[in-house]
Amino acid sequence: MPSPVELSDSVEDYLEAIHRLSATPEGVSTTALARQLEVTPASVTGMLRRLSELGLITYRRYRDIALTRSGQRHAREVIRRHRLAERLLTDVLGVPLAEAHDEARRLEHAVSPALEARIAETLGEPKVCPHGHPLDPAAADRTMSLAEAPLNRALVVTRLEDESPEVIRHLTERKLLPGARVRVKAREPLDGTVIMDVEGDTQPLGPKVAASIRVRRAQRARRRPARRSGDLGRA
């Protein structure tokens, strides 16, 4: 079996970005990659050639950029390490959620497979990052965005798509974090502003942020059967 390839930090960043973008309606393009990684389109072009030589992606004239099976595997490994690093930062080191993503982007390249296993074990094998993204990026997604959620239904926030510090700070102030119980009360027809009930508090939410918050229907609380025998004879 060939020994595992040591990939440079920037190769890992590219694989991660391609994986992320391929799940968006926008798709993977030189422009989208340049924007996401804050580099020039020319350097993206150079890196795409290199990734293709390494057998990690396929593309045609810098279009139809897709991860190969090997690229896919490497991308998932980086994403898992990133999300696990975020858990370590917030749960153990007390780093504020708004700073976790950027810190983890540095840490994710430094964690060896042995250390990764150790961290996962110490944290009790978590399934999601503190923003609610599954550690296994291939896990099935049965959620909907707040922008498309039905009105007046009990919902639970499962995932925050946008992990940028400004957005997370904004959502932290509004208590709109994974696990929060919410309800969509109305949607403004003109600008798409969502009127929300968050843990009993009514507040408006802009359409862009609403679209980046994933929710699922809340499970009804299970009713405990009354224990009649205990009620008898004790009055």
In the complex, the residues that contact Zn ion under the rule CB under 5 A are: 86, 101, 129, 131, 133, 163
Shortest distance, position 108 Cβ to Zn ion, whole Å: 9
Q: Which residues contact 14 (CB under 8 A, 6 or more apart)?
A: 33, 37, 47, 51
Query: Starting at the edge strand that comes first in sequence, how are the strands of the sheet with 181-187 ordered?
Result: 144-145, 213-217, 155-160, 181-187, 194-198, 201-205
CA quadruple 179, 22, 150, 164: dihedral sign:
positive
Residue length of the chain: 235
Shortest distance, position 20 Cβ to Zn ion, whole Å: 10
Name which of 12 and 86 has its Cβ closer to Zn ion: 86
Shortest distance, position 19 Cβ to Zn ion, whole Å: 13
- Only one residue has tokens 């798709």, namely 27
Name which of 71 and 130 has its Cβ closer to Zn ion: 130
Shortest distance, position 74 Cβ to Zn ion, whole Å: 17
Name which of 50 and 109 has its Cβ closer to Zn ion: 109
Shortest distance, position 97 Cβ to Zn ion, whole Å: 9
Other C-beta atoms closer than 10 Å to the C-beta of 4 total 9
Name which of 98 and 184 has its Cβ closer to Zn ion: 98
Name which of 89 and 184 has its Cβ closer to Zn ion: 89
Shortest distance, position 160 Cβ to Zn ion, whole Å: 8
Q: In sequence order, what are the beta bridge partners of 198?
A: 182, 201
Name which of 13 and 163 has its Cβ closer to Zn ion: 163
Considering only CA atoms, which of 155, 156, 119 is closest in space to residue 135? Answer: 119
Q: What is the DSSP string of 99-159?
A: HHHHHHHHHTTT--HHHHHHHHHHTT--SB-TTS-BSSTTS----EETTTSPTT--EEEEE
Tokens of 32: 């989208």
